[in-house]
Chains A and B, each alone.
Chain A
Amino acid sequence: MSEDHIQRDAQLLPAAVAGIFEAHGLADPRDRAGTVRAARERAALALPGLAGEADAPRLAAAPFAGSMLVDALAARRDASPEALLAVTVELAELGFAPLQLTREALRAPSLAALPPALARATVLRVLLACAPLHHVSVWSRSGVGGVRCSAQAGGARPSAAARRVARAVLAEIPPEPGGEMRAFAIVRAGEPVAALVARAKRGGALRAGAFLAEAEGPLAAIEEREALLAGNAASERMLLQASERRLTRLGYDLHDGPLQDLLLLGEDLALFRRQLAVVLDGRRGEKLLGGRLDDLDARLLALESALRRISTSVHSAVLVTRPFGDALGDLLDAFAARSGIEPELECEGDLESISTSQRLAVLSVVGEALNNVREHGEASAVGVSIKLGRHGLRARVRDDGRGFDVERELLRAARNGHLGLAGMHERVRLLDGHCRVDSAPGGPTEVTLVLPLWEAPAAEGRSDVAGSAG
């Protein structure tokens, strides 16, 4: 083949490859000009290195065909197996052998840029499109000593036979000879971390093995990347938990330290006001000093409100990010540590399923009710009950303390700027629920919260198998 012919073929092949993908709806024709130009430039750069090779133009264009295949599979997850088969057949007619195409696709830089789950699924779909396989799957160890399918292509669901083979591979038990099932271990740091299992089409076991062997390296890299990302995520979780613990402590420290000191200061100021009134009784300057004391009182009140807001917001920020059960457990533990009363807890239903706003409302109301019990109730027993049923959530905090006149105490607290349960009632109303306080001097006291059931809008296009590519 003359140099001119080689150059001409190398320039023509990218457009032909792009045309095949476009014809089967696996590439956007609007991208053609830029994509083909870049492919031609890369082919021109590769050609000098392929001098003397019999099929230099195809070798130069093969990386482009491989990356087109990866891009198509990653972007068009709904592409039909028939379209994929047609593409590989037509590419083979152009001279791109399936094994070569697979090799190039698995080396494509765009594969390394995909998230691990999508990259894994794409590798399996490349294998299914190019190799004589019925189905192919990747398995990893599950936390309970078994194996779980992390991606699959072909077939409706992972088969029991594939699971058995995967278990054997991960246990480093030599596979039984014969049959159409092929399997490889994906090794990381000398340890099998995943198993690549495939069922070959009749008579294609040997050939299928060659394709699967090509996938071993890329899959190992994907497993490595996923492990690193998981390690990062675990570190982030630990940091987050540590900062949550610090925030929680800060919230309690604010509530129990400076806020209580401020209350005592307010009482001292009131005492001082009374003592001053006796000393000054009608003397000059009494009014002026009274005014100064009013100012100090107002500033103390503002400071106390600000600190209380900060304390509450610190708790709220933490509560949003934690599982409901943990947050509730901490709330009850903190109450028990401070009051010496071990609350009796009764829960029903999947409380982790409630919305974030509901979770905040429930925890705030329960927390506020427990605070009231601790500060004013003189109770010896406290019961907390949270039930999630078909119609909504009902939470109840009941104590056997001395009780109080609800209307008088709520108005008194509100007048002093302490919204307490009235503030919670406001929040709960925004969620279409209601909060009720029942008490009387002598007790008992019961705080009830009722919230309607909230359901998230149904998600579309959910897949049953993580990373399923089938």
Chain B
Amino acid sequence: MDIGAGIHETDGPGEGSGEVVRLLPVAVLVLSPDRSFRAASTMLLSRRGCSVLSAASAEEALERAAAEPVDVLVVELEEEAPAGLHAPAGLHARAAATARLIDAAGAGAGRRVAAIGVVVVGEADELGESIEADAGTAYPVLDKWGPFERLYQAVCDRDRARRLVRAERGDERAWPPPAFSRRAV
């Protein structure tokens, strides 16, 4: 087994499809203008074994993503939704745009990466009806001060979903991922 490859695919019992076993920690980038949330989520995600980067702005996030690989983006979007869009749609659109930029930063740094997973967080009273609206939408939206277990679960789910998408597509160019080194925590 090649540890450097980071991820190993095995046949699941009784199924033809592969279950992916992660050998390197999930790399999470926390993008939030709220220093308290960044500090707390960084510490707690690290405690759960994730390799965590944090950024206060999109520009800083791009710099971080260009320097180190990112699997999942936990993003708090502070701007108001663009006029004419419902909050959830606007929120997701902006989250998707941020994620695409971060993917582009990784690709620009020469990494062949699967599209990153995204978890959107915010203040419960600002998110309104979009909160917890994971079903049928692109990204889970969570109360950032809600139970940490939910945030962590969402991060793991998005990481798994992201890898399964790549596995199902059978995209050999990016699978298995490149043997980049990543510092384990």
Interface residues of A (CB under 8 A from B): 406-408, 410-411, 413-415, 417, 419, 421-423, 425-426, 429, 434-437
Q: Is the CB of B145 within 8 A of A407?
A: no
At the interface, yes or no: B149 with Cβ under 8 Å from chain A? yes
**A425 to B36 Cα, complex, angstroms:** 12
Q: Would you list 10 pairs from A and B whose C-beta atoms are within 8 A, ordered by A residue?
A: A407-B147, A407-B148, A413-B40, A417-B36, A419-B39, A421-B43, A422-B42, A434-B185, A435-B43, A437-B47
Best-surrounded residue of A414, A425, A437 (most CB of chain B within 10 A): A414
Q: Is the CB of B46 within 8 A of A425?
A: yes
- Provide the B31-47 mask, 1 if CB < 8 A to any CB of A, else 0: 00001111110111011
Interface residues of B (CB under 8 A from A): 35-40, 42-44, 46-47, 145, 147-149, 185
With contacts A436-B47, A437-B47 taken as known, whether A429 is within 8 angstroms of B42 at the C-beta atoms is yes
Q: A407-B147, A426-B42, A429-B42 are in contact. List 9 more A-B contacts (CB 8 A).
A: A410-B43, A411-B40, A411-B145, A413-B40, A414-B37, A415-B36, A422-B36, A422-B39, A437-B47
With contacts A415-B36, A419-B35, A434-B185 taken as known, whether A407 is within 8 angstroms of B42 at the C-beta atoms is no
Pick the residue among A415, A421, A422, A436 that contacts B145 (CB under 8 A).
Answer: A415
Q: Which residues of B contact A436 (CB under 8 A)?
A: 46-47
Best-surrounded residue of A407, A421, A436 (most CB of chain B within 10 A): A407
Q: Which residues of A contact B35 (CB under 8 A)?
A: 419
A413 to chain B: closest residue by CB: B40
Q: Is the CB of B36 within 8 A of A419?
A: yes
**A423 to B37 Cα, complex, angstroms:** 10
Q: Is the CB of A408 within 8 A of B42?
A: no
Q: Is the CB of A408 within 8 A of B39?
A: no
Best-surrounded residue of B37, B40, B148, B185 (most CB of chain A within 10 A): B40
**A436 to B47 Cα, complex, angstroms:** 7
Q: Which residues of B contact A437 (CB under 8 A)?
A: 43, 47
**A437 to B48 Cα, complex, angstroms:** 11
Q: Is the CB of B185 within 8 A of A425?
A: no
**A435 to B149 Cα, complex, angstroms:** 20
Q: Is the CB of A410 within 8 A of B46?
A: no
Q: Which residues of B contact A426 (CB under 8 A)?
A: 38-39, 42-43
B77 CB, min distance to chain A CBs, angstroms: 19
Q: Is the CB of A407 within 8 A of B44?
A: yes
B18 CB, min distance to chain A CBs, angstroms: 32
Q: Which residues of B contact A434 (CB under 8 A)?
A: 46, 185
With contacts A417-B36, A419-B36 taken as known, whether A411 is within 8 angstroms of B42 at the C-beta atoms is no
A266 CB, min distance to chain B CBs, angstroms: 17
Q: Which residues of A contact B44 (CB under 8 A)?
A: 406-407, 410-411
**A28 to B64 Cα, complex, angstroms:** 52
A58 CB, min distance to chain B CBs, angstroms: 71
Q: Which residues of B contact A435 (CB under 8 A)?
A: 43
Best-surrounded residue of A406, A411, A417, A425 (most CB of chain B within 10 A): A411
With contacts A414-B36, A414-B37, A419-B36 taken as known, whether A425 is within 8 angstroms of B148 at the C-beta atoms is no
**A437 to B39 Cα, complex, angstroms:** 14
Q: Is the CB of A410 within 8 A of B42?
A: no
Q: Is the CB of A422 within 8 A of B47?
A: no
Q: Is the CB of B145 within 8 A of A425?
A: no
Best-surrounded residue of B35, B42, B47, B185 (most CB of chain A within 10 A): B47
Q: Which residues of A contact B43 (CB under 8 A)?
A: 410, 421-422, 425-426, 435, 437
B44 CB, min distance to chain A CBs, angstroms: 5
Best-surrounded residue of B37, B40, B43, B145 (most CB of chain A within 10 A): B43
Q: Which residues of B contact A414 (CB under 8 A)?
A: 36-37, 39-40
